[in-house]
Chain A
Amino acid sequence: MSPLNDNELNSLLEQAKRKSPEPPPQLAARTLRAYEAKVARSISWRRYFLRRVSVPWPIGALAALLFVLIGALTDHSFRQPLTVGGGRASDAALTHPTAVLTFKEFQPVSEIKPRVIRSIRDDQ
């Protein structure tokens, strides 16, 4: 069968173009709901976290001072010297591992028990 000529094809395409399906009316509402769910919600969260809060300066200064004090106290407690038998041996091992571990901890292996591990596929 011989192919269509240009005019015949153009005629067909023109008819098909006129009969293009229209988007259903409910698509607008659906898309708007999706927009509100995904975009508006994330924006409201962003607003919540990034919103400005005005604080009177004496309270702000007091809060800043409090933060500095807490920081200093915390730092001081971490720098307390370790006492032997003071119940903080594990802390000592963590903070000063070289003071606890020696080469005596590394004993030679008394017996070697090798295990060969292989895949089931190797048998096939």
Chain B
Amino acid sequence: MEEQDEMALLARAIKGDAEAFRMLYEAHHAALFRIAYRLTSAVEIAEDLTQECFIRLMGRTRFDKERGTLRQYLYGILRNLVRQKQQASGREVEWDAETEVDAASTLVLSADSLASAELSEAVQAAISALPPLQREAIVLCEFEELSLGEAAAVLGTDVGTLKSRLHRAREGLRRLLAPYRGHIATQLGRGSN
């Protein structure tokens, strides 16, 4: 959807045009839901946050197209909502910690538990074991395929810092998912057949 179209839809939706709101929802809800799920690992919370994201968009008129796209703005709202949710639940207080993944302490992802899990579930468990800032980086860049510049704008950081987080996140995932090497080989074998 063109940026100008989105701006027009947003203006109409803020004035109470439900059809314009529905079109904005259709354009962005799937990605917002996926990101919310990847960041929280909970479908119900992801639903709530996706909904809240759109309601906040209607409540705020601070969106400035000079500072980024509507998509980036929505991702930014979602990121803040996820933070608030997790800090309120007391799960992750140290959001700004740039700590490394401690493969020995985080797991959940022991070889035994991984052996019975689906690969995608194991990947999600590994993502949720990452420190929050690294998790955001991997979700936006690897799963949603945002460019480094776009992701950095959403996360309110610079590209260099984002690259560093991404590198550390991938390092963490390599270690956390190492017990799954055999399953990868099996899956790849099935895929090639």
Given that A8-B184, A43-B15 are contacting pairs, would A13 and B29 also be in contact in the complex, using a CB cutoff of 8 Å?
no
For window 116-163 of B, CB contacts with A under 8 Å fall at 118-120, 122-124, 142-143
Cβ 8 A contact of B171, one of A3, A11, A40: A3
* A contacts with B: majority SS: helix
Asked whether, in the complex, the Cβ of B16 is within 8 Å of the Cβ of A23, the reply is no
B25 close to A23 (CB less than 8 A): no
Q: Is the CB of A22 within 8 A of B30?
A: yes
| B111 CB contacts on chain A under 8 angstroms | 1
A20 at the interface (CB under 8 A from B): yes
Docked complex Cα distance between A113 and B184 (Å):
85
What's the tally of chain A residues with a CB closer than 8 Å to chain B? 33
Contact A27 B51 (CB under 8 A): yes
Question: Are B37 and A24 in contact, CB atoms less than 8 angstroms apart?
Answer: no
Q: Which of B81-89, B91-99, B172-180 contacts A (4 or more CB under 8 A)?
A: B172-180
User: Could you say which of A31-39, A48-56, A65-73 contacts chain B?
Assistant: A31-39
Looking at chain B, what size class is its interface with the partner chain?
A: 35 or more
Decide if B47 is an interface residue (CB 8 Å cutoff).
yes
Please pick, from A3, A4, A15, A44, the residue contacting B187 in the complex, using a CB distance under 8 A. A15
In whole angstroms, how far apart are the Cα atoms of A31 and B43 in the complex? 15
Smallest beta-carbon distance B59→chain A, Å: 7
Partner of B50, one of A4, A12, A27: A27
Contact present for A8 and B34 (CB under 8 Å): no
A121 contacts partner chain B, Cβ-Cβ < 8 Å? no
Q: Can you list 22 A-B contacts with CB-CB less than 8 angstroms, sorted by A residue number?
A: A3-B171, A8-B174, A9-B170, A9-B174, A11-B187, A11-B188, A15-B120, A16-B123, A17-B142, A20-B34, A21-B46, A23-B47, A23-B50, A24-B47, A27-B33, A27-B47, A27-B51, A28-B22, A32-B21, A32-B25, A35-B21, A40-B18
User: Hey, which bits of chain B sit against chain A, CB under 8 A?
Assistant: 13-16, 18, 21-22, 25-26, 29-30, 33-34, 37-38, 43, 46-47, 50-51, 54-55, 58-59, 111, 118-120, 122-124, 142-143, 170-171, 173-175, 177-181, 184, 187-188
Q: Identify the A interface with B (CB < 8 A).
A: 1-6, 8-9, 11-13, 15-17, 19-24, 27-28, 30-32, 34-36, 38-40, 43-44
